[in-house]
Structure 1
């Protein structure tokens, strides 16, 4: 069985942004990442690179910013009242944190400046503008269930879980 749309794929990965040290790795957590292919659950360049591979395949892929987290936008900053941050008292310039957006979803932001009542944040994803180098090992491929396809994401081994 090969990776294609509507397959649930589990894979270990490590990713770096041009440096020697990975910025993220599933191996450190001990569990592979499991995603439903064809529904936009991972960055487009990585999803395209997975297509056609089989269980046991190990490969490296480089993903350009346009197929990852986009180019950095110089004007993508916002001043946000501290009350919107769960951990405002601990934030320092350069730290990444998650901010709930008006659309209801979480957004990774980087703190630029901390004031007495507001925090200036960079809304660019921390990996925006970077070419990402992935090391991939596919550990499992299965057909997605009808429920997973209708929900547009993979469910855990115990069934349906939304967080």
Structure 2
């Protein structure tokens, strides 16, 4: 039976959780995820976990943070003077804001990590950075 190899386009149903069982994403109720193996469209550990699977096969993979979204980069945790942030912007801890990068027009999602009288701490790391991930996989198709 054919196994999924680099260069193949595959369709996968998945459920992603943290090691404590907290759900962060799932294809349940949606079309399966379609991507080309080895193309960098998904995180390294997910790509490697699907490689070698047969259609219909199910398995659980554990992906360490360095093969997922990487470790937390402290350079992406930024302290701002609270006066620099317009008063109408909500500054509740855990709120995701869109920050515009000067010059490029690129929008970067940031999470409010801390707020004091004088400073606001914004975190531009991926929300799953520094976290190990667990995926339940089912290979649906190889094209």
Q: TM-score range by the shorter chain?
A: 0.7 to 0.9
Write the distance in 2 (CA, Å) between the matches of 1:45 and 1:72: 17
Write the distance in 1 (CA, Å) between the matches of 2:10 and 2:101: 29
Question: TM-score, normalised on structure 2?
Answer: 0.77
Asked if 1:18 corresponds to 2:15, the answer is no
Following superposition of structure 1 onto structure 2, how do residues 97-116 of structure 1 map, counting pairs within 5 Å? 97=97, 99=99, 101=101, 107-113=108-114
Count of paired positions: 136
The 8 Å contact of residues 97 and 108 in structure 1, kept in 2 or not, is answered as: yes
Asked if 1:124 corresponds to 2:130, the answer is no
Answer 1 or 2: which has greater strand percent: 2
Write the distance in 1 (CA, Å) between the matches of 2:10 and 2:99: 29
| Pairwise CA distance, 1:124 | 1.3
| Pairwise CA distance, 1:101 | 4.9
Write the distance in 2 (CA, Å) between the matches of 1:42 and 1:100: 25
The SS at the match of 2:71 is coil
| Pairwise CA distance, 1:18 | 2.0
| Pairwise CA distance, 1:7 | 1.0
Per the alignment, residue 62 of structure 1 pairs with 62
The 8 Å contact of residues 7 and 37 in structure 1, kept in 2 or not, is answered as: yes
Write the distance in 2 (CA, Å) between the matches of 1:133 and 1:46: 10
User: Which structure is larger by alpha-carbon Rg, 1 or 2?
Assistant: 2
Write the distance in 1 (CA, Å) between the matches of 2:44 and 2:120: 31
Answer 1 or 2: which has greater helix percent: 1
The 8 Å contact of residues 108 and 126 in structure 1, kept in 2 or not, is answered as: no
Superposed structure 1 runs of 4+ greater than 6 Å apart: none
Consecutive unaligned residues of structure 1, counting only runs of 5 or more, are 143-163
